[in-house]
Amino acid sequence: MRSFLGTTVLLATILCLGTVADAGLIRGRITVVSEGLGRFRMEDTQGQKHSVKYNTRTRVRLDGRATSIKNIRVGQEVSVYTTTSGVANKITIREDAPEGGGTVNGLGGLADDNEKKWSDDSEDSGVKNPFGGINFGNSSDDAPKNPFGNASGGTLFNTPSKEMEKPEDKPADSGPVNPFAPKSSSGSNNSPGFNPFLPKSQQQEPAKSEEATNPFMPKPAGTNPFQPKSEPESSESAPTNPFQPKANNNPFEPTTGNKNPFAPSSPSPKPDDVASVGKDAPANPFGTPGAKMTPPDSEPETPIQLASNRNAKDDWPQFGGPARDNRSTSTGLLTEWPEDGPELLWTATGFGQGYSSVSVVGDRIYTLGTSGNEEQLFAVDAATGNIGGTIPVGPLYNDGQGNGPRSTPTFYEGKVYALGANGDLICVNDETGETVWSKNILAEYGGENIQWGISESPLIHNNQVIVTPGGSAASVVALNPHTGRETWRSQIPQQPKAGYSSAIATNFNRSPQLVVFTSHGLVGLDARSGNPLWGENSASNDTANCSLPLAWQNSIFYASGYGTGGSLVNLNGSARNVSASVAYHTDDMANHHGGMVIVGNYLYGSSNPGVLRCINLQSGDTVWQNRSVGKGSIIYADGHLYLRSERDAIALIEATPEGYREKSRFIQPNRSDRPAWAHLVIAQGKMFVRDQDKLLCYDVRAK
C-alpha cells in the first residue's frame, strides 16, 4: 500500500547520507512511525523523535534508484540525496523538542546559520553510484564506464537551480567536477580528450565528420524512396499479397470481386454526406473480409514503388512526424475553424482498442489496434477510411486499465515496422502485405515488460531499426531493417528497463547520436556503435518516463510528469568525448505523455495537472501559461499549435511567445470512454484523430 497523505501508519527505514557531529541531530537509522500533511514523524535508533518536512518533489534513493519520497512503501529503505532547486523545497530533518539543534538539509549540509557538513561514513569502498552499487570507476582502461557520471560535465544528481548558467553562456568545458566519474592518471576529471566510456586506444581518435541523415526528409530527385512513380502492372510471378483475396480457394474472397480500395471508383464523400466506414467496409482476408492491395513492382532493382499519389513532403511516416519532433511539414492550413470544427471527411471504425496514433504515407494510413485476442497492424485508405487489410502483430496486451497497443507504426523504404505492447516487433512489406521478419525483443534480449506495456515506436536511423528491450542482454539494439538481424547492441550500466518514450536521432559536432529516455534517465549513444556516451537524470522519475526528448542547438530538453519537471541538457566536448551538463531545471514543464514542441527558441507543452505553458529555452523562464483545454497532447503545423484534450476538446492556438491566442476549438463527436492519449497527426492538409475503435479525418486546408 502506498500512503502519502493522511494518518495511515507507515513503517519505512531511512538511511541518512552521513552523520552530524552536533548533539541532538539525527544519527544513523531513523524509522517513520506515522505521517501527516507534508511531514513524516520519525524516531531514531537512540529513541529521539524528529519530524521531516517534504513535498512531492523531494527526491530520495530507493534500491539504488532515484524516486520521489511519495513512492516509498512499508518496509523499504531509502536515502535522501537531492531535491529540487530552492531552499524552500529542500527536505529538512529537525527536532520536535524546543532544544533541538538546528536543521539538516537534504543536500547534505546544515541549514540556517550552521556551516558543518555531513561526514562520509560509508562502509563501502569505491565511488558511490546513485543508481545503486559502486560506480564503474575501476582501474581497467577498457572496462565499461557509467554514462550517468561524466568526466567533465558536472554531477548529474544535483538538480540545478534557476541561477545556473544559461546555455548561451556556458563554456564547452565548464561545469563542476563529477564525483561519480573515474579520474584520469593525472587525477583530473576534466582532462581534455578523456572519455571514461571508450577504451584507452580510442581516446585520441578524431571525430568523423559524417553527418547523420534523416530517412524521413525529402531527398534529391531520383533518390527519394517516397517519390511516386507510375502504377505497377500485375505479374503472375509477383509475391502473394495477403491483403488480396486468392482465387478459388480463399474462404474470405468477397463476392464483389477484387476491387482495390486504394483506387476507389466513387468520388470522395461530400461535406453533407460524410462517410462512416469500417464495419461495413469491403472484406478483409484476415477475419473481416477486405479488399486487395496493389500487386508489387516486378523489377526489384528499381526504387521502392509506393502507391501512385504518394508525396514525401507532407507525409507523417512515424510517431512524432518526419523529424520526430512533433512538427508537421503541411502548409496552407486554416487559421480558424467553424464552431463545430473543420470539415469532417470520414469516420472509420473497426480498430478495436489501444492508444496507437497513425502514420500517413501517400494514400495509406497505418495504425495499430486489436481484434479478439490479437494486436494487429491496419492498412487504411487515406482517401476513404476503408480498411485495406490487417496483419497480426502478437497477443493482446491486457492490464485491466487500457488494453491494446500503445506504439505507432513506422514506415521506411516500402516496409512498415510495428511494435506491440508485449514486445512483438514485425516488419511488413507494404506492397505485398507479407511479414518479412518478426521477433519478440523482450524474449530475445532478456527484458521484462514494463508496468503499462511497451509503448515506444521504432526509430529508423542510418538504415537501422532502433528499439529498446531494456533487458539483461541489451538495453538498446539496432537491427537490419530488411532482415531483422542485429547490427549492434548496447548495454547501459545498471541495465535500466525501457521507458515509455521513443528514441530520437540528433547530431553533435557532426557525429550522429541516439538519445533514449530509459526508466533511469536520459542516455546518449553513438549511433554507429551503440556505445554509451553520456547520461543525465534530473528530469527522470521512478514511475513513468514517457515524453519525447527534443533536440535544440547543442542541447536536449526532456521532461516527465509526477511533479518532476523538465531540464535542458547541454552537450559539451568533442564527438567522441561528450559530456552532459544541466543548464537549468524547471518545475513548470512536468510533461507526462502529451509531448512538447519547439518553435524557434520557445518550448510549448502541457504541464501536469493540465496547464499549457510557453518556456524560453535560453533562460528556462515561463513566458506565459493558460489552462487551455487541460491536460493533453500537442503538435505544431503552419504557425499553430494543435492541442488535443484527454477529454473531448481539440483546439487551434497561435504559436507565439507574445501570449496565449486561441483561434478555435471544437468538441470531438462520439468520444469513447477512454482518455484521448493518441496524439493528433497533421499530414497532407488533413488532421487525423484516433480514438480507440474510431479514426476520424478532418480537412484543415485553407480554402
What grid cell was written down for 684? 497532407
Q: Is the pLDDT of residue 666 over 90?
A: yes
pLDDT average, residue stretch 39-60 = 53
When divided into structural domains, the chain yields a total of 1
Q: Looking at this protein, which amino acid is placed at residue 671?
A: R
pLDDT score at 342: 98
Convert the pLDDT of each residue in 341-377 to its tens digit. Answer: 999 999 999 999 999 999 999 999 999 999 999 999 9
Convert the pLDDT of each residue in 297-328 to its tens digit. Answer: 333 322 222 232 344 679 999 999 999 999 99
The DSSP bridge pattern shows strands 275-277 and 343-349 to be parallel
Q: Cis before residue 409, ω within 30 degrees of 0?
A: no
Q: Is residue 88 part of a domain?
A: yes
Q: Could you tell me the residue range of the domain that residue 81 belongs to?
A: 13-105
Q: Which of 640, 637, 649 is nearest to 689 (CA)?
A: 649
Q: Is residue 321 part of a domain?
A: no
Convert the pLDDT of each residue in 545-562 to its tens digit. Answer: 999 999 999 999 999 999
Convert the pLDDT of each residue in 251-292 to its tens digit. Answer: 233 333 333 333 333 333 333 333 333 333 333 333 333 333
Cα–Cα distance between 132 and 61 in angstroms, integer? Answer: 9
State the pLDDT confidence band at 195, using cuts at 50, 70 and 90.
very low
Q: Is the pLDDT of residue 140 over 70?
A: no
Q: Looking at this protein, which amino acid is placed at residue 513?
A: Q
Q: Looking at this protein, which amino acid is placed at residue 667?
A: I
Convert the pLDDT of each residue in 417-464 to its tens digit. Answer: 999 999 999 999 999 999 999 999 999 999 999 999 999 999 999 999
State the pLDDT confidence band at 68, using cuts at 50, 70 and 90.
low
How many Cβ atoms are within 10 Å of 251's Cβ, its own excluded? 8
Q: Is residue 79 part of a domain?
A: yes
State the pLDDT confidence band at 70, using cuts at 50, 70 and 90.
low
Q: Which of 644, 512, 499 is nearest to 209 (CA)?
A: 512
pLDDT score at 383: 97
What grid cell was written down for 460? 529508423
State the pLDDT confidence band at 47, using cuts at 50, 70 and 90.
low
The answer to which of 16-20, 335-339, 580-584 has the lowest mean pLDDT is: 16-20
Cβ neighbours of residue 533 under 8 Å, at least 6 residues apart? Answer: 147, 195, 197, 513, 524, 525, 526, 578
Q: Is residue 130 part of a domain?
A: no
Q: Is residue 669 part of a domain?
A: no
HEC string for 266-305: CCCCCCCCCEEECCCCCCCCCCCCCCCCCCCCCCCCCCCC
- CA-CA-CA-CA dihedral for 534, 540, 543, 546, to nearest 10: -80
State the pLDDT confidence band at 408, using cuts at 50, 70 and 90.
very high
pTM, entire model: 0.62
Q: Is residue 601 part of a domain?
A: no
Q: DSSP string of 114-173?
A: ---B-B----S-S-B-TTSSB-S--S-TTS---TTS-SSS--SSSPPPTTSPPGGG--TT
Q: Is residue 345 part of a domain?
A: no
Cα–Cα distance between 377 and 418 in angstroms, integer? Answer: 7
Kindly state the percentage of the chain with pLDDT values over 90. Answer: 53
HEC string for 395-406: ECCCCCCCCCCC
pLDDT average, residue stretch 496-525 = 96
The answer to which of 35-39, 120-124, 308-312, 680-684 has the lowest mean pLDDT is: 120-124
Q: Is residue 296 part of a domain?
A: no
Cα–Cα distance between 92 and 609 in angstroms, integer? Answer: 26
Cα–Cα distance between 191 and 183 in angstroms, integer? Answer: 9
Kindly state the percentage of the chain with pLDDT values over 70. Answer: 56
pLDDT average, residue stretch 238-252 = 36
In a 13 Å sphere around the CA of 481, the CA atoms on its Cβ side amount to: 20
Convert the pLDDT of each residue in 200-231 to its tens digit. Answer: 344 343 333 333 344 444 434 333 333 333 33
State the pLDDT confidence band at 400, using cuts at 50, 70 and 90.
confident
pLDDT average, residue stretch 368-390 = 98
pLDDT score at 421: 98
Q: Which of 213, 140, 150 is nearest to 532 (CA)?
A: 150
Cα–Cα distance between 471 and 448 in angstroms, integer? Answer: 7
Q: DSSP string of 375-390?
A: EEEEEEETTT--EEEE
CB-based burial label for 145 (10 Å; 0-12, 13-18, 19+): buried
